[in-house]
A and B are shown apart, each in its own frame.
Chain A
Amino acid sequence: MAVAAPAATPLPIEQPTSRRASTARGFWSSAWWRFRHDRVSLIALAVLLAIVVLSAAAPLISGLILHTDPAQFMRTPAGRIATLQPPGPNYPLGTDDVGRDVLTRLLYAGQVSLSVGFLVALVSLGLGAPMGLLAAYFGGSVDDVINAVVQFMLNIPALFVLIVLSIFLTPNVIELALIFGLFFWPGTARQVRAVVLSARNRDYVDAARVLGAGDGRIMARHILPNVASVAIVVAGLDMAAAILAESSLSFLGFGVPVPLSSWGNMLSLSQEMFRSAPWLVYPPGVMIFVTVLCVFLVSDGLRDALDPRLSR
């Protein structure tokens, strides 16, 4: 036990000559401050941004630097269609079984896979957050109904049903993202519900109600800010999971319709092909792996930055 030393001499009092060195920070700027000092998350964010920029610039890169077209066959100097060429000076990552340049397709595929991931996170958040909010705020029969729907959705074997749906409906990319979102929102709703349940009974909510605030105002002004940090993290995790799920579905040949390329459907070839052309296997998988890993790490970093109490 430390014994408090008696103050023999009065401490010298510093005269405030200038403004304080550190200023008080608001919620978002202190979160950003914590995130900025988390090296792993920053690197992950940088890599993720690089992938986004490269994918967005796919037309420029293929047009100006590579002189390729994702839908055109490459030709060998002799004028024949260059099928299954190994990586070399003319084709940095080789060509596939119908002679398309793998690097070009990889860049364009990034656009599709990333937008599917982003859209699914958006749909999941847009449906799940209001549902979770309503369920927890009103409770009672509203809660029961929403819970029943969530239970129902969570017990559907999603991958199996997605295969059936994409065969029968042959959706385009936007429709595919919407269908995915339908399977993702129950998880978001659950998380949001848990947060709102604890926020609903806080004293400041009671105070607002006593002051005459309506349900809409209480939800928007007093409860929603609590949800923001959880919502951002859950959206990140949804995006990662959606990119993985889309790649699985496309790999099986049911997701993004050909000839559009996504990181998943670039590999929906026969297994036998990989004896002769192993170079086709690595690039799409590495892109998914790195992207998903970065999204996970950024989400982790955001969770720690937005809610320091949660950090392990």
Chain B
Amino acid sequence: MVRRLLQSVLLLLVVITAIFFLIHLTPGGPEAALANNPRTSAEDIARVKQQFGLTDPLPIQYLHWLGNAAHLDFGRSYFYSRPATDVVAERLWPSIQLGIMSYLVALLGVPLGVLAATHRGKLADNLTRLVTTLGHALPTWWFGLTLIVVLNSVLGWFPNGQGRGGPWQWFSYIIFPALVLGLAALVTFTRFVRSEVLEVLNQDYVRTADAKGLPRTLVTSRHVLRNALLPVVTQLGYVLPAVVSGALITEYVFSWPGVGRLFYEAAVARDYPILLAILTMTTAATIVGTLVADLSYGIVDPRVRYS
């Protein structure tokens, strides 16, 4: 357990180090964005580089950045002229709201998977498999755009940004992006639950429960679901990376004022501090998601042991 934690911390360090050097070594930094402007002189560019500490040798810049990042100081944003941490923090809450809502949408996959497994080979199963296959091939951004076009032609309205005002407004603005973002995870959950339930249905204790004459519904609810649904907890962690990168596209399509959209804006503006802050955050989210999933797997299923 402790070893697993240390590994994760080391992995995070290695990945963000690589990302830092990748960003700083590739041509076209913030000064390139300025150089496009004919009115900036060479001195201006030198002054800007000096101001942002881009003239130091790269290893020095790195150690400096890492030391500050350790206490969540990611430097000043070039574009906003404010601490990058503050800018990201402001955008975090809308993203978390969207993330939670999309997880709720994705959890609809659980009853869907149970339904498919208990009606194996019948209409419900085939329909579910059809929908999950189609959902798997659907590009996120295009699903969002189509939804916008359809809503616009039917209602003459589409959700753009975050709803302000009452809870109903909030809900009507968040549900469509959440639906788009949650679809991929919903497909994952449905497939996972279906195969888990099918596996438990083949266990001896289920046959025993059937044989002693328990009603089918009781067998399903007491013996099958209790064992089949526990591993779903682990999947919550495994889909986190997909939700985070899906949010980038969804937030762009729906103009959602979250971290994903901020990343897009910062990438266009070549705003290194913000880019690095968000990349560090998403890397941490990816690693923590996997870690939580792995550890919870061990708790949920004591047969799994980590060496």
Contact = CB atoms under 8 A, between A and B. Distances in A.
B304 interface: no
Contact of A289 (B138, B279, B282): B138
Interface residues of B, number: 48
B67 interface: no
Interface in B262-285: 263-264, 267-268, 270, 275, 278-279, 282-283
Contacts of A274: 145, 148-149, 152
A151 B11 contact: yes
A160 B290 contact: no
Contacts of A281: 142, 145-146, 149
Contacts of A275: 152
B275 A285 contact: no
A202 to B, nearest CB: 25
B149 A293 contact: no
A125 interface: no
B53 interface: no
A235 interface: no
Contact of B270 (A167, A240, A252): A167
* Chain A interface main SS type: helix
A248 B160 contact: no
A158 interface: yes
A114 interface: no
A164 B23 contact: yes
Given A163-B267, A271-B253, A156 B19 contact: yes
Given A161-B19, A274-B148, A293 B134 contact: yes
A91 B74 CA distance: 52
A17 interface: no
B99 to A, nearest CB: 15
Contacts of A167: 28, 267-268, 270
A159 B134 contact: no
Contact of A160 (B138, B253, B255, B278): B278
Contact of A247 (B11, B141, B241, B279): B141
Interface in A247-293: 247-248, 251-252, 254, 264, 267, 271, 274-275, 278, 281-282, 284-285, 288-289, 292-293
Interface stretch (B54-62, B173-181, B242-250): B242-250
B145 A155 contact: no
B245 A158 contact: yes
Contacts of A293: 133-134, 137
B235 interface: no
A289 B148 contact: no
Contacts of B14: 152
A251 B249 contact: yes
B114 to A, nearest CB: 17
Contacts of B12: 155
- Which among A160, A165, A254, A297 has the greatest number of chain B C-beta atoms within 10 A? A160
Contacts of B279: 157, 160-161, 164
Contacts of B146: 281-282, 285
A152 B152 CA distance: 43
Interface residues of A, number: 38
Contacts of A284: 142
A285 B142 contact: yes
Contacts of A165: 22, 26
Contacts of B244: 157
A271 B161 CA distance: 12
A157 B267 CA distance: 15
B136 interface: yes
Interface in A64-88: none
A156 B139 CA distance: 21
Given A156-B15, A288-B139, A168 B245 contact: no
Contacts of A282: 146
A292 B184 CA distance: 15
Contacts of B11: 151-152, 155
B287 A161 contact: no
Nearest to A268: B141
Contacts of B141: 247-248, 251-252, 264, 267
A163 B253 contact: no
A163 B26 contact: no
Nearest to B246: A159
Given A157-B286, A296-B136, A271 B148 contact: yes
B122 to A, nearest CB: 15
Interface in A142-163: 151-152, 155-161, 163
Contact of A155 (B137, B149, B286): B286
Interface in B127-160: 133-134, 136-142, 145-146, 148-149, 152-153, 160
B145 A164 contact: no
A140 B18 CA distance: 26
B149 A160 contact: no
B167 interface: no
A161 B241 CA distance: 13
Interface of A: 151-152, 155-161, 163-165, 167-169, 240, 244, 247-248, 251-252, 254, 264, 267, 271, 274-275, 278, 281-282, 284-285, 288-289, 292-293, 296-297
21 contacts: A152-B11, A152-B14, A156-B15, A156-B283, A157-B245, A157-B279, A160-B263, A160-B279, A161-B22, A164-B275, A167-B28, A240-B137, A248-B140, A251-B249, A267-B145, A271-B148, A274-B149, A285-B139, A285-B142, A289-B137, A292-B139
The 4 closest A-B pairs by CB, nearest first: A285-B142, A168-B26, A293-B137, A159-B245
